[in-house]
Amino acid sequence: MAVKTLDDLLSDGVEGRGVLVRSDLNVPLDDDGTITDPGRIIASVPTLQALAEAGAKVVVTAHLGRPKGGPDPKFSLKPVAAALGERLGRHVQLAGDVVGTDALARAEGLTDGDILLLENIRFDPRETSKDDAERLALARELAELVAAPDGSPGAFVSDGFGVVHRKQASVYDIATLLPHYAGKLVAAEVKVLEQLTSSTDRPYAVVLGGSKVSDKLAVIENLATKADSLVIGGGMCFTFLASQGISVGTSLLEEGMVDTCRKLLETYGDVIHLPVDIVVADKFAADATPQQVAADKIPDDKMGLDIGPESVKRFTSLLSNAKTIFWNGPMGVFEFPAFAEGTKGVAEAIIAATGKGAFSVVGGGDSAAAVRQLGLPEDGFSHISTGGGASLEYLEGKTLPGIEVLDT
């Protein structure tokens, strides 16, 4: 792809120029509005820092959560602006609206090196509209925020990899209006994913977890043809076990996917590996009592909440000789300490393989959160993605609108 990068923009000079950056600052918050995992904020800093230090007038747009068609105080970017400012070591203004009077006034008042964060872009329903004209209208208003006084256009930097699979105003349409560039984060993510899909060193191991087979079906079908081993854990493993006639008790089960899983095992049985033991409990709760059972001996009144230690051993042996590893999705309910050992064990196996020279990618989302929550070293992996959904769609072979539009 012939995509211009941030380095291209910086080499042209940005001092005094308005630059709109689409970042991914969609971080998790607790009930008090405290950020529980700043990973995406940290990942957004290099691009913003480089632009500010080069003297650009930086306007950042991002979303938080899924507000329903209008402003909602619980989805305000106020805590994000404060955290971003701390990471950047400079004040980050927060506009009181998206493209309204406050945003316009603050954008006009920016001096070289200033950073302005617009309020949650999804407070404007046009951002996610299916109507092309509505999205384009919002994109035009965003472009006005970075236009020079003489009317010459600013620039757009796409740095929110977690949203590039969305055809949205601040991701796609804005790039049709302004000179556009891939930020440091987006450029790095695409480079890594291209390596996973084209020039992978073998053996190639894929580890998939999470709750639903339906969410990962396309990536399973695509990677099963490319990987030497495909390890399945998390809630999705129970639908695979059920497809073999195994009773899974009260575990998570997608009954509509049982036949699909059976066909996958028939076709790729030598590649797909399932858990051989499960950690079960009588309820979904942090204080539930864990019990280890064989995968085909799950009691009718119990639910599986993690893979067992024998499964971790088997999966570790598969991963130990891998040269390329892609991991997306936890092996169990890692948020509960009693059911986090499977995820931790598999993650440690990936770290060990990486230490021996394997190229390992953590595919964002819950997997990235698990790495941080379980206290695992982030530098133990070759790359931790910031975009779970975008990573999966790329590996499925889908075209990502927010990347495709940069190649024009």
Concatenated DSSP letters of 313-329: HHHHHHHHT-SEEEEES
Q: Which residues pair with 21 in a beta bridge?
A: 60, 157
Cβ atoms of 341 and 306 closer than 8 Å: yes
Q: Binding site annotation covers 365?
A: yes
Q: How many CB atoms lie within 10 A of CB 66?
A: 10
Active-site residue, selected from the candidate residues 17, 18, 39, 40: 40
Q: Binding site annotation covers 122?
A: yes
**CA triplet 331, 335, 339: central angle to 5 degrees?**
55
Q: How many CB atoms lie within 10 A of CB 36?
A: 11
Q: Binding site annotation covers 266?
A: no
Beta strands per DSSP E along 283-407: 291-294, 303-307, 324-328, 359-362, 383-384
Active-site residue, selected from the candidate residues 160, 235, 345, 365: 365
Q: Which residues pair with 204 in a beta bridge?
A: 324
Burial per residue of 243-277, b for 16 or more beta-carbon CB atoms within 10 angstroms, e otherwise: beeeebbbbbbbeebbebbbebbeebeebbbbbeb
Residue 401's Cα: distance from chain center in Å?
A: 16
Per the annotation, the verdict on 70 as an active-site residue is no
Q: Binding site annotation covers 387?
A: no
Q: Binding site annotation covers 311?
A: no
Q: Binding site annotation covers 25?
A: yes
Active-site residue, selected from the candidate residues 90, 212, 262, 323: 212
Active-site residue, selected from the candidate residues 55, 85, 96, 389: 389
Q: Binding site annotation covers 357?
A: no
Q: Binding site annotation covers 159?
A: no
Q: Binding site annotation covers 233?
A: no
Contacts of 140 (CB under 8 A, 6+ apart): 177
Per the annotation, the verdict on 4 as an active-site residue is no
Interatomic CA distance for residues 229 and 224, integer angstroms: 8
Per the annotation, the verdict on 235 as an active-site residue is no
Q: Binding site annotation covers 40?
A: yes
Per the annotation, the verdict on 212 as an active-site residue is yes
Q: What is the largest CA-CA distance in the chain?
A: 73
Residue 173's Cα: distance from chain center in Å?
A: 21
Q: Binding site annotation covers 22?
A: no
Interatomic CA distance for residues 139 and 172, integer angstroms: 9
Residue 183's Cα: distance from chain center in Å?
A: 16
Q: Binding site annotation covers 356?
A: no
Nearest-10 crossing angle of helices 365-373, 39-53: 100
Q: Binding site annotation covers 282?
A: no
Q: Binding site annotation covers 129?
A: no
Q: Binding site annotation covers 230?
A: no
Q: Binding site annotation covers 20?
A: no
Q: Binding site annotation covers 332?
A: no
Residue numbers in the known binding site for (2R)-3-phosphoglycerate are: 40, 122, 166
Residue numbers in the known binding site for substrate are: 24-26, 40, 63-66, 122, 166
Residue numbers in the known binding site for ATP are: 216, 304, 335, 364-367
Any idea which residues carry the catalytic annotation? 40, 212, 365, 389
Residue numbers in the known binding site are: 24-26, 40, 63-66, 122, 166, 216, 304, 335, 364-367
